[in-house]
């Protein structure tokens, strides 16, 4: 089958997850010093910005990936569902991270928990791409072997750096958060040539009978 329904469903999950992030930021209670209370919410603002960048970067690269993946089968659908399950879960570790910094306790555990989830998300991104690209199973024929290897390396950066940052978080949580931000600023601009991918219109691989439905 073609990728249209998978992409539409994925976009919906990304949109809901990124919207839920703001719900963690609570309005200060009445009768308090509003200015001080708003300033005191800085951990929530920080966690919100980090997770917004994370989800935004993952969505951009998901879109870029499906410039090259032109058909799906049952296994890719399942991998994508597991990937989206973790995306939808991300507001929870975001809230845990913000609360830990609010209290000033357990920041290393909260940051490592957050980093661990990002690491698993990165693993599923790699699993999706490598499954689709193996033997040109589900990708467009315009991709060369050199380009596929380049994309493989690009995607491998994510879980590798996230795993390192997760370990760093147990010692210096602030540094881990900085690594999360910098990595996702990097991923906001995919560097593996999806902009030059040809249109799917007229691509014979889109309607190929080689697609596997299960």
Domain ranges of the chain: 4-196
Bridge partner list, 209: none
What dihedral do alpha carbons 64, 70, 72, 76 form, nearest 10°?
-30
Rounded to an integer, the average pLDDT of 101-106 is 92
Query: Cβ distance 190 to 61 under 8 Å?
Result: yes
- Give the helix ranges, DSSP H, for 24-90: 34-40, 42-65, 74-89
**201 has a pLDDT exceeding 90:** no
Average pLDDT over every residue of 162-180? 96
pLDDT in tens, 176-196: 999 999 999 989 887 654 444
What pTM was estimated for this model as a whole? 0.85
Q: Is 22's pLDDT higher than 70?
A: yes
| Closest alpha carbon to 51 in 23, 79, 82, 10 | 23
Half-sphere exposure of 187 (CA within 13 A, CB side): 33
């Amino acid at each position: 089958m073609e990728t249209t329904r998978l992409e539409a469903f994925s976009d919906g999950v990304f949109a809901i997850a990124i919207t839920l992030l703001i719900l963690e930021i609570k309005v200060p209670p009445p009768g308090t010093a509003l200015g001080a209370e708003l300033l005191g919410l800085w951990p929530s603002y920080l966690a919100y910005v980090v997770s917004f960048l994370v989800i935004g970067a993952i969505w951009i690269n998901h879109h870029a990936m499906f410039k090259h993946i032109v058909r799906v089968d049952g296994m890719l659908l399942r991998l994508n569902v597991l990937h989206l399950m973790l995306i939808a879960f991300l507001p929870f570790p975001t809230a845990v991270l913000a609360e830990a910094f609010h209290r000033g306790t357990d920041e290393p555990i909260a940051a490592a928990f957050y980093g661990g989830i990002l690491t698993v998300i990165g693993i599923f991104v790699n699993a999706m791409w490598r499954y689709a690209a193996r033997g040109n199973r589900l990708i467009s024929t315009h991709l060369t072997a050199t380009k596929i290897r380049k994309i493989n390396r690009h995607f491998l950066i994510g879980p590798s750096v996230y795993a390192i940052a997760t370990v760093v978080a147990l010692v210096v949580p602030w540094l881990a958060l900085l690594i999360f931000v910098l990595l996702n600023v990097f991923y906001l601009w995919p560097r593996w040539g999806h902009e030059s991918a040809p249109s799917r219109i007229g691509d014979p691989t889109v309607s190929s009978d080689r697609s596997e439905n299960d």
